[in-house]
Amino acid sequence: MTNAAVTNTGASAALPQGLDGVVSDWSSDQRAFKNVPWGKAMMWIFLLSDTFIFSIFLLSYMTVRSSTTVPWPNPSEVFALEIGGVHLPLILIAIMTFVLISSSGTMAMAVRSGYQRHRKTTTILLLVTALLGASFVGMQAFEWTKLITEGVRPWGNPWGAPQFGSTFFMITGFHGTHVTIGVIFLIIVARKVWRGDYDRGTAGFFTSRKGNYESVEIMGLYWHFVDLVWVFIFALFYLW
């Protein structure tokens, strides 16, 4: 037997078996996520798990709405506003959707500017994205206040099926929490970009090695996911 064969046999025998082998393989970063930064890989895993949660919420909503025998409130009327004496169905929701989708554009430009090492432009675009996200949350708070004032509760509402209130607050509240968390982290990343932490490799929260703007891209993955989820909420909850 050659030396190479002996070496290969010894290496194979040294590999852990069963679950320990799976853990060892993944943690070695040699097969499962080779050439993929751990931060990005973990964000994808988080987003996959979050996809399941939002999918369950939306499927539950569709099941409840399809099975209830009590008339479901008309979203065009429930979410309408009176502006200057004019009845405008879904006007606030349309503005919220436009604002959030626009923030995806500024986030994409921030990622591009980050990898080009344009600190000032990246910081501005991140802050603009955060401002658009905060505006969305503010409009959502107004929407919640309006419906609560009109008598909508998690256990009922004055327009029909009592499940309307619980599904509305659960789905939009969970999504709004994601947007709020995203705004906070956008501001944190923008501050670190502005201070030059990524250029100097300053050790700290959300800073890895020198010259690494991957945190901006990872933040972008999260933000695009939040925007994409809103498209499904908008289509299924407000337009159906």
pTM: 0.83
Predicted pLDDT of residue 92: 94
More confident residue, 138 or 1: 138
Which SS3 state, helix, strand or coil, does residue 37 take? coil
Residue 233, domain member (yes or no):
yes
**Residue 21: its pLDDT value, please?**
72
The domain that holds 148 is classified in CATH as: 1.20.120.80
8 A C-beta contact, residue 129 and residue 106: yes
List Cα–Cα distances, 190 to 21, 114, 233, in angstroms: 40, 10, 28
The per-residue pLDDT for range 32-80, each reduced to its tens digit, is: 566 677 788 889 999 999 999 999 999 999 999 999 889 899 988 899 9
| C-alpha 49: how far from chain center | 11
What total of structural domains would you count in the chain? Answer: 1
pLDDT of residue 41: 84
Q: Which domain holds residue 182?
A: 37-238
Which of the four pLDDT bands, split at 50, 70 and 90, describes residue 197?
A: confident
In a domain, 31, yes or no: no
Kindly state whether residue 16 falls inside one of the protein's structural domains.
no
The predicted-structure confidence for 98-114, as pLDDT tens digits, reads as follows 999 999 999 999 999 99
Model pLDDT, residue 17 = 75
Cα–Cα nearest to 218, from 203, 210, 233, 208: 208
| pLDDT band, residue 213 (cuts 50/70/90) | confident
In-domain check, residue 15: no
Distance from the Cα of residue 105 to its chain's centroid: 15
The residue among 176, 194, 183, 197 whose CA lies nearest residue 128 is: 183
Q: Would you state the structure tokens that stand for residue 196, as one six-digit string?
A: 């030059």
Dist CA 181 CA 224 (whole Å): 14
Give the 3-state secondary structure of residue 88.
Answer: strand
Cβ atoms of 219 and 183 within 8 Å: the answer is no
Domain presence at residue 134: yes
| pLDDT tens digits along 143-175 | 999 999 999 998 888 888 989 999 999 999 999
Would you place residue 7 in the very low, low, confident or very high pLDDT band (cuts 50, 70, 90)? very low
How many other CB atoms are there within 10 angstroms of residue 211's CB atom? Answer: 10
Of the chain, the percentage scoring pLDDT greater than 70 comes to 83
**Distance between CA atoms of residues 88 and 146, nearest Å:** 15
Give residue 206's pLDDT.
64
Q: Rounded CA gap, 113 and 132, in Å? A: 19
**Residue 87, domain member (yes or no):** yes
List, for residues 17-27, the tens digit of each pLDDT value: 777 776 666 66
